[in-house]
Chains A and B, each alone.
Chain A
């Protein structure tokens, strides 16, 4: 099944990836190839089979709701490409009218 350039553009937009025209064509071919291989899954009878999302069997592992200081808040903020006064800096999202 062949993925069209438009479909590749749609996926890239969802994934917040910007692609060159050359990349769009290349990925269109490669992804089509790969997705065609996945088609073999359709031949497996999975009626009444539950999906497995993880194998530990654990559910909702809890801990006490108490604050534990990391001691590295300042270092974590300083990892950010832009930061000011202890806050991560980002560009404006909304315009002030």
Chain B
């Protein structure tokens, strides 16, 4: 097996046991990138020099017998939404095309403090809005399983980089499904943490009450390890509560005998791919084998959650994107007066989806419409959250599909925004409720990966990770790799 095909844990063990060096591991990733990146296009910016420099530093530390973190010397790709000092951070937007941050996001700082090797910044839908990475202002990313298909979005570059073994782990963001859905489309493991579990400091803001930062990797075990390091209170992000970080790696080793798994009827609907439905129902049998108990539950607000989300998210993003005005940073068209700078910079800098969401949000918040749209949506949000609170009185975790379909073809849905939004129907409710959700490979349909979603209570990542890990102990969907030529 080539070094870049290893998991995070295997890489850590290999470095610790001096079977190979960080430089060799990093070079293997870059060899893979050189071979396949022109077809996959997962990265906006690559930093080979910086990565090799860092890898060599770690090798020195290993040689000197220093005690190192398990993340040390391991190549990681970072979604181009997290600020990285001195390395271009674009949010896949023309308005930040040449922005070079003078500071690190907290999560990036954690990676650096743990001596990880940052390989580059991955592609996304502009400002994390979309479901396919086709809304990137620069180019679209291609699914390693079928290059004519989307990798999903918005963390499509991140998940593609893992599926193609271009990096060992990745950091993405999930606001309405942006880790879970591309993880499903690319056949990798991704975690949407509970809102507030991981610091948002230094991450380009999309919707401030919904944004989360999370790990993407080749297995639940890997994801559990990464989470241990990136989770926790950050004084720079007031929405991170001072709640203890569990020892996820030991928690996941416990069995799931008697675990109550809820199956919400509203998530098994018409219009879902038969291949998706079959894979999930097959996966359920494995959970029963492991001793879990399956219970039917109902989440009646599911149908309204999407409409609520598509009022709240645009409203919040219209406010957050107001900062891009051509004055403090980013693209600036300096013809004419101040108003013109705003109008032209934003007209030229923002893509179509960004403009659409800004306008929906502005409308929903404007005088005369605030109560009917935004306030109403926030009340519906309370009811969506209550659905989950009530369900978690009866069950420990909830199992659902991630998306109604497998990866669709590039160009298939991009001209119909509403059709694209409807793909989010299974991921958005959990975002509104701020609960955690794990997306793991559950099967294949027509040669494409099918993911399943395991939802858990707020700050109960340990339970969903345990369920996912135990599933991965008796199945090998997560070990399947695409054939790259």
The interface of chain A, by Cβ under 8 A from chain B, is 3, 7-8, 11-12, 14-19, 23, 27, 30-31, 33-35, 37-38, 40-42, 44, 46, 49-58, 61, 63, 70, 72, 75-76, 78-82, 88, 90-91, 93
Contacts and interface: CB of A to CB of B under 8 A. Distances in A.
A40 B52 CA distance: 54
Q: Enumerate the 6 nearest inter-chain pairs by beta-carbon distance, A residue then B residue, closest first.
A: A55-B434, A51-B378, A75-B102, A81-B332, A46-B379, A18-B343
Contact of A41 (B329, B346, B362, B377): B377
B238 A61 contact: yes
A56 B328 contact: no
B307 to A, nearest CB: 5
B239 A54 contact: yes
Contacts of A34: 310, 356, 360, 417-418, 421
B53 interface: no
Contact of A56 (B196, B326, B337): B196
Contacts of B381: 51-52
B248 interface: no
Contacts of A33: 417-418
A7 B103 CA distance: 40
Interface in B362-386: 362-363, 366, 372-373, 375-383, 385
A60 B326 CA distance: 31
A51 to B, nearest CB: 3
Interface string B322-337: 1001111111101001
A56 B355 contact: no
A54 B338 contact: no
B362 A15 contact: yes
B433 interface: yes
Given A46-B383, A55-B195, A31 B326 contact: no
B268 interface: no
Nearest to B415: A30
B366 A90 contact: no
B206 to A, nearest CB: 15
Given A42-B372, A49-B382, A55-B385, 20 more contacts: A12-B359, A16-B325, A18-B344, A30-B356, A33-B418, A37-B307, A38-B311, A38-B377, A41-B376, A41-B380, A44-B383, A46-B376, A46-B380, A46-B383, A51-B381, A58-B239, A58-B241, A61-B238, A82-B332, A82-B334
